Amino acid sequence: MCCVYNSKNYIVSQLPYIDQIIKEDMKVGRIYNFSAGPAMLPVEVLKEAADEMLDYRGTGMSVMEMSHRSKAYETIIQDAEKDLRELMNIPDNYKVLFLQGGASQQFAMIPMNLMKNKVADYIITGQWAKKAYQEAKIYGTANAIASSADKTFSYIPDCSDLPISENADYVYICENNTIYGTKYKTLPNTKGKTLVADVSSCFLSEPVDVTKYGVIYGGVQKNIGPAGVVIVIIRKDLITEDTLPQTPTMLKYKIHDDDNSLYNTPPAYGIYICGKVFKWIKNMGGLEAMKAHNERKAKLLYDFLDQSNMFKGTVEKKDRSLMNVPFVTGDEELDAKFVKEAKAAGFVNLKGHRSVGGMRASIYNAMPLEGVEKLVEFMRKFEEANTK
Ligand SMILES: *Cc1c(COP(=O)(O)O)cnc(C)c1O
């Protein structure tokens, strides 16, 4: 956790602004929602959507009631793409697709479209990676070339020199492991093979170098918008007619590419909300500013965990996620008591995933610094009150 105070000056000057905006926003009867997803969205965005609910900018209708072929909607989806491209600095040789079926749909869509040799390598760092791997096995040879299952996925394996298959069509990772709270700090050495990454739970949380990936995709309900929408950023040469036999039309990237995500009715309202979140992030200073904001929140919580005699982080320090922070007391009854009392105090959805137990605080972009400050204060008091 280094970069907050020595990153570019404008980022640092942006932080009080972000704090102020989000803090003001919270004064409308909101609670601190630490859910892993669907998760908190910026209040500004929700308010704007509410204002436009009955009459979207003089059209006399809600975006929900609008033809996806209308002029008004065309502007919405085109602006959304433009803003996302700007935020992530997406080069022209990448296509942005807004699709349906959530992140899980991509577990099948990726092998169906990319497995030309019917071989792919998977790095298993948690349940979502494992699910993708199991799905790929339906369509070809999926190799698990590394795994952190031996220690309950509490770390990211060394990926500097993996046994990448010679004829692998791609190497697959889940970049931020929502359930276990780990994140790749360096991308795997794929030895020239195409990298495919599920970024559902770290989407737009910090800058990325898109050119390092063949495909970046994520369900939006963690950090960007309403569930159901999945955004796929894919290098154009990977979009071909040459899919596995019997690939359903709706699962071909080419179809959606040809029609710019309007082959059929897209998840139109969801995309509209995503577009507002893109604008919100731009206003906040972009992804560098989001990174600084997220690092500051995560540091507060991890620093507290590291000095606590009661609460312990469950992840190897070098692999800690900025977005999902799992922790335990080591005593299941005490964990349950904590979750219950935290809920009563206005900190909700802190219960850990059923496969890990304990607690997990998800602190995505829209979580204010104040939410984490107050949570840490609550944890400190809980520790005092429950230490003999
Ligand atoms: C939530 C999540 C998923 C599943 O998303 P759906 O939209 O429910 O299919 C997949 N991968 C990761 C990393 C997630 O966090």
Residue 218 falls within a domain, yes or no? yes
The answer to whether residue 52 scores a pLDDT higher than 90 is yes
Non-local (6+) Cβ contacts of 246 within 8 A are none
Residue 178 falls within a domain, yes or no? yes
Averaged confidence pLDDT in the chain: 95
In this prediction, residues 359-388 reach a mean pLDDT of 96
The answer to whether residue 381 scores a pLDDT higher than 70 is yes
Q: How far is CA 261 from CA 22, 204, 258, in A?
A: 32, 21, 8
**Structural domain span for residue 119:** 63-281
The answer to whether residue 328 scores a pLDDT higher than 60 is yes
Say yes or no: CB of residue 128 within 6 Å of ligand 1: yes
Distance 180 CA to ligand 1 centre (A): 13
Residue 224 falls within a domain, yes or no? yes
> What pLDDT score was predicted for residue 10?
64
Residue 95 falls within a domain, yes or no? yes
Residue 212 falls within a domain, yes or no? yes
Q: Whose CA is nearest to atom 7 of ligand 1?
A: 102
Q: Whose CA is nearest to atom 14 of ligand 1?
A: 200
Question: Which ligand 1 atom is at minimum distance from the Cα of 179?
Answer: 15
> What pLDDT score was predicted for residue 220?
98
Q: How confident is the model at residue 356 (pLDDT cuts 50, 70, 90)?
A: confident
> What pLDDT score was predicted for residue 9?
62
Say yes or no: CB of residue 198 within 6 Å of ligand 1: yes
In this prediction, residues 326-348 reach a mean pLDDT of 96
The answer to whether residue 1 scores a pLDDT higher than 60 is no
Known catalytic residue: 242?
no
- 108/30: higher pLDDT: 108
> What pLDDT score was predicted for residue 28?
73
Say yes or no: CB of residue 135 within 6 Å of ligand 1: no
In this prediction, residues 102-122 reach a mean pLDDT of 98
> What pLDDT score was predicted for residue 107?
98
Known catalytic residue: 51?
no
* pLDDT tens, position by position, 192-208: 999 999 999 999 999 99
Q: Residue with structure tokens 């200073």?
A: 285
> What pLDDT score was predicted for residue 289?
96
* pLDDT tens, position by position, 137-182: 999 999 999 999 999 999 999 999 999 999 999 999 999 999 999 9
Residue 137 falls within a domain, yes or no? yes
The answer to whether residue 60 scores a pLDDT higher than 70 is yes
Q: Please state the domain count of the chain.
A: 1
The answer to whether residue 362 scores a pLDDT higher than 90 is yes
In this prediction, residues 359-382 reach a mean pLDDT of 97
Known catalytic residue: 92?
no
The answer to whether residue 27 scores a pLDDT higher than 90 is no
Q: How confident is the model at residue 2 (pLDDT cuts 50, 70, 90)?
A: very low
In this prediction, residues 8-21 reach a mean pLDDT of 74
* pLDDT tens, position by position, 268-314: 999 999 999 999 999 999 999 999 999 999 999 999 999 999 999 99
State which of 125, 201, 205, 217 you would mutate to test the pocket of ligand 1, scoring each by most atoms of that ligand within 8 A of its C-beta: 201
> What pLDDT score was predicted for residue 5?
42
> What pLDDT score was predicted for residue 22?
78
- 355/70: higher pLDDT: 70
* pLDDT tens, position by position, 80-107: 999 999 999 999 999 999 999 999 999 9
Say yes or no: CB of residue 349 within 6 Å of ligand 1: no
The single residue of 83, 95, 121, 128 carrying the catalytic annotation is 128
Nearest to 362 by CA among 226, 203, 223, 154: 223
Residue 13 falls within a domain, yes or no? no
Question: Which ligand 1 atom is at minimum distance from the Cα of 102?
Answer: 7
The answer to whether residue 8 scores a pLDDT higher than 70 is no
The single residue of 121, 169, 198, 335 carrying the catalytic annotation is 198
CATH number at residue 193: 3.40.640.10
Residue 257 falls within a domain, yes or no? yes
The answer to whether residue 13 scores a pLDDT higher than 80 is no
Q: Whose CA is nearest to atom 3 of ligand 1?
A: 103
